[in-house]
Amino acid sequence: MITYDRLFVGGTWVEPSDLEPLGIPSPHDRSMIGRAVQARPADVDRAVATARTSFEQGVWRRTPPAERIAALRRFNALREENAEHVARLISLENGSAGWFTRAGQPGLTRQANAYLRAAEEFAWEETLVPSGPQSPVRSVVRREAVGVVAAVIPWNSPFSSATSKIIPALLAGNSVVLKVSPENSLSMGFLAELLERVGLPEGVISVLSADRETSEYLVSHRDVDKIAFTGSTGAGRRIAAIAGEQLKRVSLELGGKSAAVILPDADIDRAVAGLKFGSLLNNGESCIAQTRVLAPRGRYEEVVAALKELVESLKVGDPNEPDTFIGPMIRPDQQERVRGYIRLGIEEGARLVTGGPQIPEGLEKGNYVTPTVFADVDNSMRIAQEEIFGPVLVVIAYGGEDDAVRIANDSEYGLSGGVWSADEEHALAVARRIRTGTVTVNGASVAFDGPFGGFKASGIGREYGAVGLGTYTEYKTITV
């Protein structure tokens, strides 16, 4: 039993306003694995006040960029030293399979290093040369910290979501209040321990576990200057409305219903092997999961058969067992949500290729669902349009290449996607036509130096690298 009976506010562990801890159940068998106190509005007031005081006093924001970079490099090193513990905590509280949580640790390092490189090369201040001999002034352009940042993250990938926000925000000199989901109280409590060891100035960073109501209180707080949010599109719309009313800076990384386009010349075995990770990572509880598989009519049944064979070969079970590929959903309500979509797919007339709404045999005590593949899916069906957030794939047939691009773009979302082809340049040409923030070709991994974010209802703004770092700064022009 892991217990956190204090809140991490401004770099110090303090007594919460509500002393009653929340029990953290295991997604695997619903036994209690930990307890943690939750923040209430009074705690948010305290965290925002200490962040505001810290920012106004300016110790951190006036710290030279090289020293801020060194501090975040220490944090990254501490996280690397504890990578196995981080992976175990996430598997314990989220139900994410061990292969996924361990594979994600090098990705966290690459993500952090990309931000650190960007900060080293960032134009914190530059002088613009007058445009002509008659120009009476020269301009000094500065990039300064926005202020107090409310970083609000979801439960499905806590360390990645947290570090993708706090690292650039801190590198830019901001003070940060990180609001995490109650389900992640254990891993995020450990994140706070690592931040404490870095030794940042007082007030610069707080980590609060809290419910949605308290989260809305945080983002609505008048002393918050910027909101950085990852989560559902519905919640993103609410946050955007609050930000618009108060003219806060805002960046939103939201949901997805990404398409994997398998072109006629693709190696089907290679494509399906890649979709094992591109479509079913993190138990399917991933905003970038490519859950709409677009297959050419001439090879449609070949793709369906290959996906059936793949999904039926994957072990579903205890996330701590080394051969488990798909673990449980995080909560019982999420389990029921996914099972409800499977029933809906059957009602909509899709062909159930494998899986179904039944709970896997022997796993009734946990939040498990049976991985499912639907065929004969029309893109207008709800199972093709709505984000299910579980291990459910739909296979959609297309005619020509134009039809494939049309179907891929026929979605309110635009976060991720993939193209598979024997001709890499041809795949690249198709990728350029898909309206989505990130497209992988033949299963390439995400590049953390490039910007990440979504088109349409998948978000506003970008994360990662220099572009992501820039979203935590304001431009100031001084003319001389």
Confidence at residue 130, expressed as pLDDT on a 0 to 100 scale: 73
- Residue tagged active-site, from 93, 183, 285, 287: 287
Altogether, the residues listed in the chain come to a count of 480
* Chain segment 109-131, per-residue pLDDT in tens: 999 999 999 999 999 999 987 76
- Residue tagged active-site, from 93, 253, 285, 387: 253
> Distance of alpha carbon 150 from its chain centroid, rounded?
16
Confidence at residue 133, expressed as pLDDT on a 0 to 100 scale: 67
Assess whether pLDDT exceeds 80 at residue 74.
yes
Span 169-189, average pLDDT: 98
Assess whether pLDDT exceeds 90 at residue 398.
yes
- Catalytic residue flag (residue 253): yes
Assess whether pLDDT exceeds 90 at residue 385.
yes
Fold of 259-452: Aldehyde Dehydrogenase; Chain A, domain 2 (3.40.309)
Task: List the domain boundaries for the chain.
Answer: 2-254+457-479, 259-452
Q: Residues 6 or more apart from 464 whose CB is under 8 A from it?
A: 111, 114, 115, 164, 448, 449, 450, 451, 452
Confidence at residue 34, expressed as pLDDT on a 0 to 100 scale: 97
* Chain segment 247-306, per-residue pLDDT in tens: 999 999 999 999 999 999 999 999 999 999 999 999 999 999 999 999 999 999 999 999
Fold of 2-254+457-479: Aldehyde Dehydrogenase; Chain A, domain 1 (3.40.605)
Assess whether pLDDT exceeds 70 at residue 329.
yes
Nearest to 101 by CA among 390, 324, 427: 324
List, edge to edge, every strand of the sheet that includes 473-479.
Answer: 125-128, 139-145, 473-479
- CB-facing half-sphere around the CA of 81: CA atoms within 13 A: 10
User: Percentage of residues in the chain with pLDDT exceeding 90?
Assistant: 96
- Catalytic residue flag (residue 287): yes
Helix (H) or strand (E) holding 25: strand 22-25
Span 130-137, average pLDDT: 71
Confidence at residue 136, expressed as pLDDT on a 0 to 100 scale: 75
User: Percentage of residues in the chain with pLDDT exceeding 70?
Assistant: 99
Assess whether pLDDT exceeds 70 at residue 189.
yes
Confidence at residue 446, expressed as pLDDT on a 0 to 100 scale: 85
Q: For 217-231, give one letter per residue: b (16+ CB within 10 A) or e.
A: bbbbbeebbbbbbbb
Q: 308 falls in which pLDDT band (50, 70, 90)?
A: very high
Assess whether pLDDT exceeds 90 at residue 364.
yes
Residue 115 to residue 297: CA distance in whole angstroms:
43
Q: Which two tokens stand for residue 418?
A: 């993939």
Assess whether pLDDT exceeds 90 at residue 78.
yes
